[in-house]
Structure 1
Amino acid sequence: MDRLTSMAVFVKAVDLGSFAAAAAALDLSGPMIGKHVRFLEERLGVRLINRTTRRQSLTDFGRAYYERCRLVLAEAEAADALAADQLSEPRGKLRVIMPVHFGRRCVAPILLQLAQRYPALELDLSFSDPIADLAEDGCDLAIRTGILEDQAGVIARRIARQRMVVCASPSYLEMHGWPRQLGDLGSHQAIIYRRSGRVVQPWLFPRGDQAAV
């Protein structure tokens, strides 16, 4: 039997004055109440309750043990309440790393609203584009764009889709002309987004249900 449960049954039996009343209050059978009390008595090696067919009374040790059990159960309730409070309102430090531009423009405003809603939550925000090692960097959450190549030891979720576009300044187009078809791009200059020295992915352009590089 669980000792804490048996303590709670014992205290209820003392508070209500009989095993029958405790059984009704706890939705247990009368014999089960007796089993919990006997479990404590056998574990302690001492009688807690003097019980006859008409009445029950605490022994001297039982009275002292009853008071201690009340304290233990109150502390257990307080501990459970603390855990429930932690679950009901986020608190503590949340370390988040995110891409510079996407993070500042899209993610940070949402996190700041979250911090305003939960004052006990402390945000530690980092902005960088390289792929982060959550364990090495001590991060709780990393928001990244692109394909996650190594998912070992992490839980990954897609939160949004990002669409890349090809654009050019009016002065560039005036100097070099407009590309009319995909093949024309090969003769144009381009500024390509790289991550950790590598092009993130080739340029893909939709063509019907397929993609052409």
Structure 2
Amino acid sequence: MSELAMFPLGSVLLPYMPLPLRVFEERYLQMLAQILQVEPSEFGVVLIERGQEVGGGEKRMSLGTIAQIVQLEPSEVGVLMIAQGARRIRITEWLDDDPFPRAEIEELPELVWVDELAGLRQTAEKAVRRVLARASEWEEQTWSAQVELSDDPMEATWQLAGVAPLGPLDQLVLLSATSTEELLTELIRLCTEFEETLWLPE
């Protein structure tokens, strides 16, 4: 177990997915100054269960992801940052928030790709692209149905989970998967359930 600076957010970060952030609160500017002293510069991201991102006092989930900083750019208000999801973590103990949120964490085992899952992954990709296309008929989506994926099958599997137009609690289900097969199976199920809601009468 180790100590890690934490950034609670109103969204879930999945491995191999980008995370753009505008850092302006003093506590997170202090956090940024500290973690940039070490390479790779990392912090943890967890979903806020109740409360707001700004000001503190929120209730936080215990499952999250390590984010690695890949780009920084000063702005008129704070710092524009792009990070990328890396390894999954579980919070074992929250520490004092002074001067910024910190926690004792343990890393979860990384999921492993096996070639026998190629067919299941193809089914999942079709489901995700189909539901992205149909959801875009109702409202603009963050990701296009033609989004490009990594050539690495494990990375691409996580990216499929990340671009699927699902809510944060559904994404937490995917983040908690204990095997690649479970991740793909749950992704197909959640996309199918979401797609069915698109055709329900208002």
Answer yes or no: same fold by TM over 0.5: no
Which structure: greater helix fraction? Answer: 1
Highest RCO, 1 vs 2 (Cα 8 Å, sep ≥ 6): 2
Shorter-chain TM range is under 0.3
TM-score of the two chains, using structure 1 as the length reference? 0.19
TM-score of the two chains, using structure 2 as the length reference? 0.19
